[in-house]
Structure 1
Amino acid sequence: MVNEKAKFLEGSLMRHIAVMALTSSVGLMAVFLVDLVDMVFISWLGRDELAAAVGYSGAILFFTTSFGIGMAIAAGARVARAVGEGDIALARQRAATSLIYAFGLGAVFAAVVWWQIPALVALLGASGTTLALAQGYLSIIVPSLPFLMLGMVGGAILRAYGDARRSMMATLYGGVVNAVLDPILIFGLALDLKGAALATVAARLTIAATALIPVFRHHGGLERPTARAFTVDFGGLAAIAGPAVLTQLATPMGQAYVTRAMAAFGEDAVAGLAIISRLLPVAFAVIFALSGAIGPIIGQNYGARKMGRVRRAFRDGVLFAGAVVLAVAALLFLLRAPIADLFGAEGEARRLVYLFCGPIALLYFFNGVIFVANAAFNNLGRPFLSTWVNWGRHTLGTVPFVMAGAALVGAPGVLIGQAVGGIVFGALAWLLARRIMARERGRAAPGDDYARQGRLLALFSFKR
């Protein structure tokens, strides 16, 4: 068993951020890359309705995955804080209760979504054959959500211990399983979308197993929680997970609106959006990983009351995001034609891919700022700020801008409007994070009293 010490309380913060983000992004990229390969395979089948079905399904799967991301953020923040305080037994207890709650709540959430699949797909604008294809695809994948949540929370626990490599390997193993099964099931057995869905389920089961095994093998396992611990930890977990889940759900809600707005311009436009939706997390996997990567760094230093390092970690996170976005945007611009050719994108779909690989990619920096700020909010005991910023970004920062863009320039305006709204809320998130960190200077050591987050959550909050 490794010696559990707070690894982020000393040393270069930029190095910690780079190592955590890059290792986390490798695992994420493995999963997202397989999704991208799915899209390539589906496009090779030569049926626009299959690609469109994947696009509609992606918005709903993003919705379900965001629930797991919110739970993982909460688990990672609480375990990292306990590690920073030097209480390893408490860290293992929080890990145990987080996993149990994640699986149970994930099962309930999956059941509700599975029941409403037809209505949700229709709400996004799908109809006819495309609606039936998307419904069949989702009905296979959605029931596996509880296992995906185990994997996501398990990975967050590993990162909270500073074990970024094993967290990365869990998702990497899942990506390998998916990559191997995809061509076999899609082409070899001619299962088309059903084959892609079955490969995704197998990958989720793999991620769950390979994320939990290192927790037991290398980090002393879990502390068996008492009945009181379940009550206490529910309060602390709900105080972060509640707003964190709401925060994460904002993104698929905004994406669902974007998908519906794009549907007005035909299946070719929706197929183009589906390509971009798969390309985006692969290209910016490091940025997607940044919030989860920097969270334990901020959490451990906040637990140790090293506020100077907390502020520097935030600053370095924003600088790191800027450098990554600049490099990725330049690469996308140079490769825009081969990328469009890979998917056989023509007409409106090709036009949208070119737009994304140009100025839209550069503006993704502001989303990176929001990710870093959310990590700060969640780990400094202000998770509701993440909720307000994200919902603002995906409502006020999406709907009016997308409407205006679509009215002015058509399908490209949908992407432009969505990106411009991110500028406003990226700047707002940066200002709020700096203000919170300034207020935290000189405060008493952090506890588990989240009563200031609101009366409802205060009812479930207890001090140890």
Structure 2
Amino acid sequence: MNHSTSKRPDLLKGDIQATMKQMTVPVLFGMITLMSFNLVDTFFISMLGTAELAAVSFTFPVTFTVISLAIGLSIGTSAVIARALGSGDQQSARSDGLAALWLSAYLVIALSIVGYLTIDPLFRLLGAKEDTLPFIHDYMDIWFFGAVFLITPMIGNAVLRAAGDTKTPSILMACAGLLNAILDPILIFGWGPVPAMGVAGASLASLISWLLGFGLILYLLMVRRKLVDTGHQPFAEFIRISRKILHIGLPAAGANMLTPLAMAILTALMASYGAEAVAAFGVGARIESIASLVVLALSMTLPPFVSQNYGACAYDRIDTAYKSCIRFILRWQLLVYLGLAACAWLVADVFTDDPLVAQYIRYFIWILPLGYGLQGIIILTNSSFNALHLPLNALQLSVIRLFVFYVPFAYLGGVMGGVIGVFAGGLIANAFTASLAYYWFKRKLAALSISGGV
């Protein structure tokens, strides 16, 4: 905690809006670079052929499950450490960080061993045919071996964010992504003495970039910044801290896994309107992921702020930050909507030549993004609940959002108005859930401030 400390935002005393901006911009940069590198990855694999691309597509549900667990653990890690730092307990924060690294390593190694031993039955269950299984093995054999080197930097980045440093994780993500993009063509197609390895080359490129991130993050946390203890604490202490992290991490991971489940149900619903509707919905999902980048970045930077101030019992600062983030997101997403709506014809033409698909894409753009600001309120409330150590509230909100409002309203809208009705149902569902989320969070925060956080 040396000369660079002054450059990092003070979450407990600094100007709230300036602090949030200082933390969010680097995260946004990291997410954009990572997204572009992922596109590069997919591009090179697609050059190998359809079977290879299909094989890697089959791996997404499995890799997403492991990564969801890691995201849940990183949410739990960040909340526990930021609260300790906010209350001024540096030693507890260092112990919590060490336990989080070991816990994630143990869980991911266990999952990877099970995954590795069940590749054939698992992917047959997912619908993989015999001709794609060899390519799935090429990719997943290496992926399972190296998964712990992917997950450890994710937990390490959560420790840094808990301390208010969002710039370093973003630089680490960008460096690892860049290395992966450079190695991809060399290992996939071969170059000089390096043989062409195909799909296995793509997985090996990822593993090498993870190893770089793994080495850098451990050096930063344990040697340079001394944010985490070294070695391994006594087993009883490790179990005690792990319970705290899993108390938040497991519900957060569960909430994370609900989204693809709801997306699968909605895709099946769209399939009843034909392949064109499914294609348009797929394009819409890509548009949504780009249009919601600022919300997602804020959902990573608001929780450390909330948790540190929760540790310091500064409930007024939490309230001010939450409200200012929501006001900003509503204004920002309205601008995004106006831009998208104006470019709807152009966007649809970029993605398809089919007139019916293009029409559905335009309907999607004119209706659903109008609610992305409301969706932002839900996402920020969810992450703030986790930051206040209220993970079951966050999980309940996710369940209510997807299965009480979104899927039923989309279905009813479809019955009443076809594809347009599905999109309108989704928009109305976001309005109901956002109102509920806002009042629920305000009530919980008021109750905490009265009880003093007990």
Normalising by structure 1, report the TM-score. Answer: 0.81
Aligned to 1:66: 68
Q: Does 1:399 align with 2:407?
A: yes
SS of structure 1 residue aligned to 2:404: coil
Aligned to 1:108: 110
Q: Does 1:19 align with 2:27?
A: no
Greater alpha carbon shift after TM alignment, 187-196 vs 234-243? 187-196
SS of structure 2 residue aligned to 1:396: helix
Aligned to 1:8: 11
Unaligned runs of 5+ in 2: none
Q: Does 1:208 align with 2:214?
A: yes
Q: Does 1:233 align with 2:241?
A: yes
Identity of aligned residues (%): 28
Q: Give distance in 2, aligned partners of 1:381 and 1:344.
A: 45
1:214 CA drift (Å)? 2.1
Report matched runs for 1:288-303 at 5 Å.
288-303=296-311
Q: Which amino acid in the other structure matches residue 150 of structure 2?
A: L
Q: 1:85 aligns with which of 80, 84, 87?
A: 87
Query: Deviation digits for residues 285-309 of structure 1, max 9, x if unmatched?
Result: 2211222211111111111111111
Q: Does 1:425 align with 2:433?
A: yes
Provide the aligned length of Structure 1 versus Structure 2: 444
The answer to whether the 8 Å contact 2:29/2:170 transfers is yes
Q: 1:147 aligns with which of 127, 134, 149?
A: 149
Unaligned runs of 5+ in 1: 447-464
Q: Give distance in 1, aligned partners of 2:398 and 2:439.
A: 14
Q: Which amino acid in the other structure matches residue 396 of structure 2?
A: W
Q: Give distance in 1, aligned partners of 2:391 and 2:93.
A: 20
Aligned to 1:450: none
Residue 383 to residue 57, structure 1, CA distance change in 2 (3 Å): same
Q: Does 1:32 align with 2:35?
A: yes
Residue 2 to residue 360, structure 1, CA distance change in 2 (3 Å): farther
SS of structure 1 residue aligned to 2:450: coil
The answer to whether the 8 Å contact 2:345/2:362 transfers is yes
Aligned to 2:226: 220
Q: Which amino acid in the other structure matches residue 237 of structure 1?
A: I
Greater alpha carbon shift after TM alignment, 386-395 vs 185-194? 185-194
SS of structure 1 residue aligned to 2:228: coil
Aligned to 2:175: 173
Q: Give distance in 2, aligned partners of 1:141 and 1:210.
A: 21
Q: 2:371 aligns with which of 350, 355, 363?
A: 363
Q: Does 1:439 align with 2:447?
A: yes
Q: Give distance in 1, aligned partners of 2:420 and 2:201.
A: 32
1:53 CA drift (Å)? 6.7
Q: Give distance in 2, aligned partners of 1:274 and 1:55.
A: 14
SS of structure 1 residue aligned to 2:383: helix
Aligned to 2:265: 257
Query: Deviation digits for residues 270-328 of structure 1, max 9, x if unmatched?
Result: 55555444454344222112222111111111111111111111111212322332333
1:105 CA drift (Å)? 1.3
Q: Give distance in 1, aligned partners of 2:445 and 2:433.
A: 18
The answer to whether the 8 Å contact 2:291/2:336 transfers is yes
SS of structure 1 residue aligned to 2:107: helix
SS of structure 2 residue aligned to 1:11: coil
SS of structure 2 residue aligned to 1:220: coil
SS of structure 1 residue aligned to 2:451: coil
1:435 CA drift (Å)? 0.5
Residue 211 to residue 136, structure 1, CA distance change in 2 (3 Å): same
Q: Give distance in 2, aligned partners of 1:200 and 1:392.
A: 36
Report matched runs for 1:264-413 at 5 Å.
272-334=280-342, 336=344, 346=354, 350-351=358-359, 353-407=361-415
Q: Give distance in 2, aligned partners of 1:130 and 1:273.
A: 29
Residue 140 to residue 326, structure 1, CA distance change in 2 (3 Å): farther
Greater alpha carbon shift after TM alignment, 94-103 vs 31-40? 31-40
The answer to whether the 8 Å contact 2:283/2:361 transfers is yes
Q: Give distance in 1, aligned partners of 2:135 and 2:375.
A: 29
Q: Which amino acid in the other structure matches residue 222 of structure 1?
A: V
Query: Deviation digits for residues 356-410 of structure 1, max 9, x if unmatched?
Result: 5443223222221122112321122211100111122222233323434555566
Q: Give distance in 2, aligned partners of 1:42 and 1:217.
A: 38
Q: Give distance in 1, aligned partners of 2:284 and 2:198.
A: 21
Q: Which amino acid in the other structure matches residue 100 of structure 2?
A: S
Greater alpha carbon shift after TM alignment, 64-73 vs 222-231? 222-231
Q: Give distance in 2, aligned partners of 1:35 and 1:218.
A: 30
1:101 CA drift (Å)? 0.6
Greater alpha carbon shift after TM alignment, 201-210 vs 406-415? 406-415
1:336 CA drift (Å)? 4.9
Q: Give distance in 1, aligned partners of 2:40 and 2:439.
A: 38
Greater alpha carbon shift after TM alignment, 172-181 vs 302-311? 172-181
Greater alpha carbon shift after TM alignment, 273-282 vs 183-192? 183-192
The answer to whether the 8 Å contact 1:137/1:193 transfers is yes
1:159 CA drift (Å)? 0.7
Q: 1:76 aligns with which of 69, 78, 81?
A: 78
Larger radius of gyration: 2
Residue 427 to residue 114, structure 1, CA distance change in 2 (3 Å): farther
Q: Give distance in 2, aligned partners of 1:362 and 1:30.
A: 26
Greater alpha carbon shift after TM alignment, 68-77 vs 341-350? 341-350
Q: Give distance in 2, aligned partners of 1:404 and 1:280.
A: 22
Q: Which amino acid in the other structure matches residue 212 of structure 1?
A: L
SS of structure 2 residue aligned to 1:441: helix
Query: Deviation digits for residues 61-120 of structure 1, max 9, x if unmatched?
Result: 444322211111100011111111111111111000011111211233344556666777
Greater alpha carbon shift after TM alignment, 304-313 vs 174-183? 174-183
